[in-house]
Chains A and B, each alone.
Chain A
Amino acid sequence: MEIIIAGAGSVGFNLAKTLSVKHNIVLIDKNKETLNRIAESLDVMTIYGHVENPELYQNLLDQRYDILIAVTDSDEANLFATLMADDILEVEKKIIRLHNTYFSNSSISKKLGIDEIIFPYITTAQSIKLLLDFPKANNVKEFRFIPHKLISIYVNQSTVSSVGDITSEQQVVVGIEREKNFFIPNDNELLEEGDLLYLFGTDENIYSLSQELNQNSPQKISKIAIFGADKLGIEIAKVFLETKADVKIIEKDTTLCKKAIEILKNQATVIHSRYIADTIYNEENIKNADLIISTSRSDEENIIRCLEAKEYNIPKTIAINNDTNFYDLMHKLGIITIRGPKTMTYYKMLESISSNDIIRERHYYGARGSIFMRKITFVSQKETAPIEEQESRLFLVRERSIVPFYKPMLLEIGDIIILFTPTNGAEKVKNWMQML
C-alpha cells in the first residue's frame, strides 16, 4: 500500500519502521534533523515541511494513496493534514490522532471525512476502567460485533485441572503464558499455578471463572492511587470518579497539581509530594489502596513505582507502557501493563491499517498473539472447511455461543468467525479468512 505518515515522532517513526517492510511510506515532518536520521536507517521517502503547507504535496501528485496517518503533536495540524489530503491528493482512508478530548463529541470527523480518530488518553483510560468490571484481570479487551471480552488473569488456585474443563460454549482459553513462553493451548493442556491465562467469553462467565482461578487480587476496586497528574493521570482519574471510587493523585509538580484539582472539581484528593515511598505510603495512607497506577511518560519511573508498591503489598499495580521496548521487562517483573497513549496509538493504527472491510485484526499478549474476526454476510449453500493450523484456535460465534470450528460447517449470516493465532505466520490464516 501507499501510505503517507504526517509526523515523525515516536508513533510516526515506529509506524514507518513497521510498515515500511511491506508498504511504501512517505514520511512528513518539520524537523529536518529527525528526518535525515530516519532516512539513513529506514527505507522510506522523507519530506521536510509543515503538513499544513499545500506546496509540500506537489511531489506526491502522480500517485493515489491508500492511507493518510496524521500523528503530529498538534491536533490542528493533524486535522489540517486531512483537509490537505482531500484537497490535493487522492487518499482512500484517513486515520488521525487527536490529543484534545473535546473533539471526541463533535461531528468534525464526519465533516472532514476522517475514517478513524484515535484519542489516546481516553482509550488508555477506558482500558483501565474495564478492569473495574474484572478486578482479577490484568487486561481486558472489547470487540466489535460481539459482547464477548478477552481477559488475562494469573492462576493461583488450581481447582480445575485442564483447559478442557473450563472450556464451554460461553468461554474458551485462547492463550497461556508459562515461564515466559506464550502459546495457544489445546483442550488437553493442564493448568499450572502461575500461568497467565487468556480467557475469551461472555462477561458473566469469565467474571465468575476469574474469581475462581485467582484468589489474590482484590474482589472490588474502590481505592485508587494515581501517580502523575498530567493529561493521562487526569483522564484516568475522571474515569474512576464516574464509578464513585476513591481517587488519590500524587504529583510532584505544583502547577500540575493545581490544574488537576481544577479539572477534577476537587472530587479527587491531589497530593503534592515528591515520591518518597515512606511518606506517601504511610503518612498519606496509600498503603491501603486497592490499585496503584503509575502514569509517568517514563517507563523506568513507572516500573520503579510499581515495584515499590509491591513492597507495600498493594494488591494490584499497573504501569503505563510508553515504549514498546519496555513491555517485556515490565511483563517479566510481573507488573500489569496497560498501553500508554503512544503505544496505544501505535497499535490502534496498526490494527486499523491491517484490518479491512472484511477482516478485523487485533493483537494480544504484546502483539505476539493475533486475533482475526470476520462477520459472515453471505449465504453459502455448502459447508465451509476450517483451516488446519496446529497452533491456532478457530471459533464461530453464533448468537452468544462460542462453537469450535474444526470440521466443515454451514455458515449463516451474522456468524462471526474468530481466530486466535501466534502473530508469527499469521499471514497464512489471514489469507484463508479473506478468501472465505
Chain B
Amino acid sequence: MDANALKNILKFLSIIAIVLSLFLGFASLIGVIYHESITSYLLFNLLFLVFNLLLYFLLRNHPSKMSIKEGIFSVNLSWILFGVVGGMGLYLTSNITFAQAFFEAISGFTTTGATIYSDIESLTHTTLILRSLYHWLGGMGIIVLGVGLLTFINPTGSLTLFKAESTGVSVEKLTPKIKDTAMGLWKIYMFLTFLDFILLYLGGMSAFDAINHAFSTISTGGFSTKNNSMGYWEQNYYILWITTIFMFLSGVNFIAHLRALSGDFKGYRSEEVTWYLVIFLLLSFGLSAVHIFIGKDTLWHSLTHSFFTISSIITTTGFASTDYGEWSRVAIAFIFIPMFIGANAGSTAGGVKVIRYVVLFKSLSTQFKQILHPNALVGVYIDGQKILTKVLVSVSGFFFIYMFTTLVLSFYLFAKGYDYLTSLSASIAIVGNIGPGFGDVGPADNFSIFSDFDKVLLSFFMIIGRLEFYTFIVLFSREFWKRF
C-alpha cells in the first residue's frame, strides 16, 4: 500500500468520521436535555471531531481517485471505526468493559440488535439514544450517505463504495449518478422514520421512546428502550401493529419505495416483493394457527403477536412482543424459517434475502427442465430480465458461504459449551443480523453470557453478515494483497 492509497483511505475515513461525529452530537443534545453527566463523552466527541477535521484539512488538496481495492478496504476500516468510536460512546456513558461496548456498538451499526445490557431501563438517555442512532446510521449505511454527499469521490470509487456497503445481487440505479440514487434512498429512509415516529407518539409512546423505536424499526435493528422490548406495550395493539407494518415496509427494497415516490408503483409488483409478501403472510397465518391450537390463545391476540414476530424476524429486526421461545417446538421451527430467509435486497434488513431464494429456486427448475429437454435453451428470468450466469454463480457462492459461516460459528459456540439450540440460533441470529435467537439467547435473554473474546469475535461475524460476506472476506484472499 503506497502513500497515495493511504492518503485516499485516510481522507475518506476522515470525512466519514466527521459525518459520524456530527450525528453523535445529536446524542449529546439528548444528554444535555435530560441533564445527564456526559462531560467525558462530550470531550471525546469533540476531540474526535477536531482530530478528523484536522486530518481532512491536511488532505484537503489530495485528489481522491479511489481504486476498487482501496474502496473495499476503506469500507471495512470504516466499519471497524464505527465499532471503536461507537463503543467509546457507550463505554463513556455506561458501566461496561470496552469489549462489551464494541459488541454493542457493532450490534447497533450492523442493525443486529443483540444486546449485552441486562437492565436496559437503568441506562441513561444518552446511552439509549446512542444505541438507536447506531442502528439508524448503520441501517441505510453511513457510507451510502457518504457516497451521496461526497461529490469529490470519482465515479468508479463511489460505485465500489456503494456496492460494498449496499446489499443485494446487483446495483440498481434510478438516476445516472449513483449519488443521486443514494440521496434518494436516504430521503425515503428519513421520511419513513419520521412517519413511524409520529404514529408511535400518537399511539401513546413517550417522545423519547417513539424516536428510539422509530430509529430501531426503520433500520430493522431491534434495540429497545425497555427490558421487555416491545413486550412493554403488549396490551397496546395499535403500537404493535404500527411497528409490524413499518418493519415490513423497511424490509421492502427501498428502490421500490423510491420509485413509488415518483408515482411508479411497479416496483412493488416485482417478483421479489411479491414473494416476500406471500412468505410473510403464509408464515404469519401459520404461526397464528400454531398459537391458537397449541397455545390456546384468542384469535386477535394470536394474530397480533404472530404477525409481529414474523415481521420482526423476517426483516431481521429482532423486537419481541412476548417470549416466543416458550410457545412450543412447532413455533420455534416456524420461526427458524424466516431467520433463514430475510427480507428484500436493497432494504435495511439482513439475512440471505428473498431475491436469492427466488434466483436459486428458479435456477433449480431450469436445471430440471434441462434434464428433461437436453436440447432446450433455458435461462433464469426474473421480472422478465435474464439473470446473467455471473449473478447465478455469485448467488450460489453467497448461499454457500452464508451457510458455511453460520455452521462454523455454531460449531465454535457448541464447542464452547453452549447447548445446540443456543449455538445454532445464536450463530444464525448474529450472521443474519437478527438479534435474539433461542435458548440462552432467546428474546427474554441477552448476549452478556459470552466472554469478552467471544463478543469481539461475534462482532466481526456481524460485520461479515452486514457487508454480505464478499466485501469482508475478500480481504483474506491472497489476490487482494498481491502487488501483481
* Residues in A lying within 8 Å of B, measured CB to CB: 2, 20-21, 24-26, 32, 36, 39-45, 62
Contact = CB atoms under 8 A, between A and B. Distances in A.
A44 B180 CA distance: 11
A24 B177 contact: yes
19 contacts: A20-B155, A20-B176, A21-B154, A24-B176, A24-B177, A24-B180, A26-B176, A32-B386, A36-B388, A39-B171, A39-B173, A42-B155, A42-B159, A43-B155, A43-B158, A43-B159, A44-B155, A44-B176, A45-B175
Interface string B142-157: 0000000000001110
A51 B171 CA distance: 24
Contacts of A44: 155, 176
B176 A45 contact: yes
Contact of A41 (B156, B158, B262, B386): B156
Given A21-B154, A36-B388, A62-B262, A41 B177 contact: no
Given A24-B180, A25-B176, 14 more contacts: A20-B155, A21-B154, A24-B176, A24-B177, A41-B156, A42-B155, A42-B156, A42-B159, A43-B155, A43-B159, A43-B177, A43-B178, A44-B155, A45-B176
A89 to B, nearest CB: 15
B135 to A, nearest CB: 29
Nearest to A33: B388
Nearest to B158: A43
A43 B173 CA distance: 9
Contacts of A45: 173, 175-176
Contacts of A36: 388
B175 A41 contact: no
Contacts of A41: 156, 159
Question: Which of B158, B176, B180 neighbours the largest number of chain A CB atoms within 10 Å of its CB?
Answer: B176
Interface in B124-183: 154-156, 158-159, 171, 173, 175-178, 180
Interface size class on chain B is: 10 to 19
Nearest to B263: A62
A423 to B, nearest CB: 15
Given A36-B388, A62-B262, A24 B155 contact: no
B25 to A, nearest CB: 31
A36 B155 CA distance: 16
A25 B171 CA distance: 16
Interface string B108-121: 00000000000000
Please name the 4 residue pairs, one residue from A and one from B, whose CB atoms are nearest each other, closest first: A43-B155, A24-B176, A45-B176, A43-B178
B51 to A, nearest CB: 31
B363 to A, nearest CB: 18
Nearest to A46: B173
Nearest to A41: B156
Nearest to A62: B262
Interface string B360-387: 0000000000000000000000000010
A2 B177 CA distance: 11
B162 to A, nearest CB: 9
Contacts of B154: 21
B385 to A, nearest CB: 9
A43 B156 contact: yes
A21 B158 CA distance: 11
Contacts of B388: 36
Contacts of A25: 176
Nearest to A43: B155
A43 B176 contact: yes
B324 to A, nearest CB: 42
Nearest to A27: B176
A208 B159 CA distance: 54
Nearest to A23: B176
A44 B173 CA distance: 9
Contacts of B158: 43
Interface in B259-291: 262
Contacts of B171: 39
Contacts of B178: 43
A44 B178 CA distance: 8
A21 B156 CA distance: 9
B175 to A, nearest CB: 7
A21 B64 CA distance: 13
